């Protein structure tokens, strides 16, 4: 019988709005691991840029890079929502970082090499002892190339835009389906084509296309693979 791996490092990478973070959170809850949403770290860094170094909707990347050490990011368990909320310099910004102004700028911030270096170092530190599910774009390729298990999640852009649009609607955010889809396409392009750690499937990652699968079906598939591969 296979040895159980109770403290694995699991990487879940893939496109925006494929549900990566939800599945990572569900796995962490079921198996008692920590969940880290690395996209939230890029979003919090973007928020810091917007609040401090932004003019005419443009974040000054030179200023942002020279103040990276002023950005302190923590995760704390929210007992009400059961999720791991992100804090920027001591303030809970879990909800604020999901706003559309952040989505519009985050890919530009995420392509700055110094920002990536700063956040990747923290991600490696948080995950070094295992028992972690980390979701993002470069977890299986750069942050933890030796992760115990890697997933790469994708879905058609139309389906992803629909899902994100429904999320915005629930939050009463006034934004059209077309704007959501355009933003997704733009972010995909920047994420895939940046020079440092572009969004790409690791050769040993398991590909899941959930265009025609609902949340339960996708999670069941991931859960089955996790149990089988880790002997749980
Ligand atoms: O998963 P998300 O949509 O919250 O991610 C926000 C942005 O951050 C996304 O456009 C790509 C970037 N990102 C990244 O470059 N590397 C990661 N590990 C996670 C996110």
Tens digit of pLDDT at every position of the chain (232 positions) = 568 989 999 999 999 999 999 999 999 999 999 999 999 999 999 999 999 999 999 999 999 999 999 999 999 999 998 889 999 999 999 999 999 899 999 999 999 999 999 999 999 999 999 999 999 999 999 999 999 999 999 999 999 999 999 998 998 888 999 999 999 999 999 999 999 999 999 999 999 999 999 999 999 999 999 999 999 9
In a domain, 181, yes or no: yes
Calculate how far, in angstroms, residue 102's C-alpha sits from the geometric centre of ligand 1.
11
Is 55 contained in some domain? yes
Q: Whose CA is nearest to atom 1 of ligand 1?
A: 39
148: CB partners within 8 A, 6+ apart? 5, 8, 9, 10, 130, 229, 230
Atom of ligand 1 nearest to the CA of 110: 15
CA nearest ligand 1 atom 4, residue: 39
Q: Whose CA is nearest to atom 10 of ligand 1?
A: 107
| 140 Ramachandran zone, left/alpha/beta (phi>0; psi -120 to 50) | alpha
Q: Would you say 18 and 210 are in contact if contact means Cβ atoms under 8 Å apart?
A: yes
Question: If you count them, how many residues does the chain have?
Answer: 232
Assign 206 to helix, strand or coil: strand
Distance (Å) from CA 216 to ligand 1 centroid: 24
Q: Which of 135, 179, 147 is nearest to 18 (CA)?
A: 135
162 domain residue, yes or no: yes
Ligand 1 centre to CA of 109 (Å) is 10
How are beta strands 9-14 and 132-136 bridged, if at all?
parallel
Distance of CA 169 to the CA centre of its chain: 21
Distance CA(101)–CA(209), nearest Å, equals 28
In this structure, is residue 38 part of a structural domain? yes
Our count of domains for the chain comes to 1
CA distance to 3, 14, 124, per residue, from 117 (Å): 34, 20, 11
Structure tokens belonging to residue 111? 């392509």
Cα–Cα dist 182/54, whole Å: 23
pTM: 0.95
Ligand 1, atom 8: nearest CA belongs to which residue?
39
Q: Is residue 194 part of a domain?
A: yes
pLDDT at site 34:
96
Distance 135 CA to ligand 1 centre (A): 9
State the residue range of the domain holding 185. Answer: 4-227
Segment (H or E) for 99 = none
Give the atom of ligand 1 at the shortest distance from the alpha carbon of 106: 7
- Are β-strands 83-88 and 91-92 bridged in parallel, bridged antiparallel, or unpaired? antiparallel
Report the CATH number that the domain containing residue 27 is assigned in CATH: 3.40.50.300
3-state secondary structure of 216: helix
Helix (H, G, I), strand (E, B) or coil at 101: helix
Q: Is residue 232 part of a domain?
A: no
User: What are residue 85's DSSP bridge partners?
Assistant: 76
Task: Classify residue 108: in a domain, yes or no.
Answer: yes
d(CA 147, CA 135) in angstroms, rounded, equals 12
Give distance in angstroms: CA of 220 to centre of ligand 1.
24
């Amino acid at each position: 019988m296979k040895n159980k791996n109770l403290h694995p490092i699991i990487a879940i990478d893939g496109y925006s709005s494929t549900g990566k973070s939800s599945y990572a959170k569900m796995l962490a809850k079921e198996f008692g691991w920590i969940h880290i949403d690395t996209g939230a770290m890029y979003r919090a860094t973007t928020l810091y840029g917007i609040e401090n170094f932004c003019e005419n909707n443009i974040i000054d990347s030179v200023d942002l890079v020279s103040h990276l050490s002023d950005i302190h990011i923590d995760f704390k368990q929210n007992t009400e929502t059961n999720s791991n909320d992100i804090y920027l310099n001591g303030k809970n910004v879990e909800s604020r970082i999901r706003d559309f102004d952040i989505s519009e700028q985050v890919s530009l911030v995420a392509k700055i090499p110094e920002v990536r270096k700063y956040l990747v170092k923290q991600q490696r530190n948080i995950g070094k002892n295992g028992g972690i599910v980390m979701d993002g774009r470069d977890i299986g390729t750069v942050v933890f190339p030796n992760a115990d298990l890697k997933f790469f999640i994708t879905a058609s852009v139309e389906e992803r835009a629909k899902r994100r649009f429904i999320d915005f609607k629930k939050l009463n955010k006034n934004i059209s389906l077309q704007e959501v889809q355009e933003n997704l396409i733009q972010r995909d392009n920047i994420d895939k084509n940046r020079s440092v750690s572009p969004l790409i499937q690791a050769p040993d990652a398991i590909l899941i296309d959930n265009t025609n699968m609902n949340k339960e079906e996708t999670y069941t598939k991931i859960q089955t693979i996790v149990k089988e591969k880790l002997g749980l």
